[in-house]
Amino acid sequence: MKQVQLLFKKTLSRIGQGSWYLDSAADSAQAIRAVQTGLDAGLTHIDTAEMYGDGMAETLLGEALLGRRDEAFLVSKVLPSNARYDTTIAACEQSLRRLQTDYLDSYLLHWRGQVPLEETVEAMEMLQQSGKIRSWGVSNFDVDDLIELHAITGDGKIACNQVLYHLEERTIEHELIDWCVAHDITVVAYSPFGHAQFPLESSAEGQLLRDIAQQYDASARQVALAFLCRSKNVVAIPKASTMRHVLDNAGALDLHLSQDDIARIAAAFPLQPHPGYLPMI
Ligand SMILES: NC(=O)c1ccc[n+]([C@@H]2O[C@H](COP(=O)([O-])OP(=O)(O)OC[C@H]3O[C@@H](n4cnc5c(N)ncnc54)[C@H](OP(=O)(O)O)[C@@H]3O)[C@@H](O)[C@H]2O)c1
């Protein structure tokens, strides 16, 4: 697995750090140290959103990144309820204040709401021109939404699409990943451990992950991340609030699975028929 890939001429780590519920950690000093440990270990892609803890996750990340802002590829998201032109700009400025920075590496529409896409795109372009964001993208956009958005923007504008992707939820493999490859859009896998439903060690699937992990002196979570990031334009953002977990996840940066291992994992967690919508949480 390559450690980094290009997104709008800036590199981001293939494995990053999520921050949903990071502000709920029992020990916030420990959560801050975990993020910093992740940065040290190369997990430089850091994901947050104004929604997380009502801004508290951004505030915590602002503390974690003090003096180290430029080491990170920092991403935040605007809620669809704030996606009008003026409110997108205001929401971005509030995120910047909480994050104690003057720019975001990418800013995403969290999911599609009622606001016409043209209006949000106009705000994103203005934020980009003013240097407050370096790129922009979307989240939870299915292929039909992307086609509509792409008809407005053309090529080279949409940096990424952040979508649900884990071993037991592989819907994006039907069509979305290929569509994004064709349009040079990075796919960001959120909830790569299923949020809180990673296969139990005692299950047959959990045992398979452990067996494969043992061959590489790796962990089952590292194997899962390596599997999810096997396509060249897919990166993943596991959330971890403890140093042990962060370091474990960083170990996936250097893990390359064989084609045989990939086939065994794909068979153990089979691609289900397309449900007819894009699953999200
Ligand atoms: N765009 C969207 O709509 C959307 C939706 C959901 C999530 N996201 C983003 O994606 C990120 C990740 O998703 P998620 O937070 O839902 O869940 P996740 O990353 O799938 O799982 C997080 C859970 O896994 C645990 N964990 C992490 N690394 C571990 C390891 N190496 N070994 C054992 N346990 C480990 C964490 O524990 P500890 O915290 O105790 O370390 C936490 O309980 C979010 O934080 C957020 O930034 C985006």
pLDDT of 25 > 90? The answer is no
- Ligand 1 midpoint to CA 153 (Å): 31
Residue 131 CA: distances (Å) to CA of 94, 128, 149, 161: 15, 5, 22, 21
Q: Using alpha carbons only, give the angle 142, 143, 146 rounded to the nearest 5 degrees.
A: 90
Instruction: Say yes or no to pLDDT of 225 above 70.
Output: yes
pLDDT of residue 27: 87
SS3 175: coil
Distance from Cα 191 to the centre of ligand 1, integer Å: 5
To the nearest whole number, what is the mean pLDDT of the chain? 95
Q: Please tell me the predicted confidence (pLDDT) of residue 272.
A: 96
List, for residues 135-155, the tens digit of each pLDDT value.
Answer: 999 999 999 999 999 999 999
Contact 91, 78 (CB under 8 A): yes
How many Å lie between the centroid of ligand 1 and the Cα of residue 199?
A: 14
Measured between alpha carbons, how far is residue 94 from residues 102, 158, 194, 211 in Å?
11, 23, 30, 47
- For the cut 70, the answer to whether the pLDDT of residue 7 exceeds it is no
Q: Pairing mode, if any, of strands 186-190 and 158-164?
A: parallel
Please work out whether the CB of residue 16 comes within 6 Å of at least one atom of ligand 1. Answer: no
Catalytic status, residue 52: yes
Residue 2 has pLDDT above 60, yes or no: no
Question: What is the C-alpha separation between 278 and 151, in angstroms, rounded?
Answer: 20
Mutate to test the pocket of ligand 1, among 20, 166, 247 (most ligand atoms within 8 A of CB): 20
Which tens digit of pLDDT belongs to each residue from 185-207?
A: 999 999 999 998 899 999 999 99
Which residue's CA is the closest to the ligand 1 atom numbered 47?
A: 18
- What is the C-alpha separation between 148 and 134, in angstroms, rounded? 23
- For the stretch 230-265, pLDDT in tens is 998 999 999 999 999 999 999 999 999 999 999 999
Q: How far is the C-alpha of 143 from the C-alpha of 155, rounded, in Å?
A: 15
Q: Enumerate residues 6+ apart whose C-beta is below 8 A from 9.
A: none
Q: Above 50 in pLDDT, residue 1?
A: no
At residue 12 the predicted structure's pLDDT band, cuts being 50, 70 and 90, is confident
| Percent of the chain scoring above 70 in pLDDT | 96
Question: For residues 74 and 101, is the Cβ–Cβ distance under 8 A?
Answer: yes
DSSP letter for 185, please.
Answer: -
Query: Does 6 score more than 60 pLDDT?
Result: no
| 102: exposed, middle or buried (Cβ count in 10 Å: 0-12, 13-18, 19+) | exposed
- Model confidence, pTM: 0.97
CA distance 271 to 171: 7
Closest by alpha carbon to 64, among 23, 27, 97, 31? 31
Per residue in 58-70, pLDDT (tens digit) is 999 999 999 999 9
pLDDT at residue 95 tops 80: yes
pLDDT at 26: 80
Is residue 196 lining ligand 1, measured as CB closer than 6 Å?
yes
More confident residue, 9 or 128: 128
Rounded distance, CA 15 to CA 19, Å? 13
Residue with token string 């960001």? 188
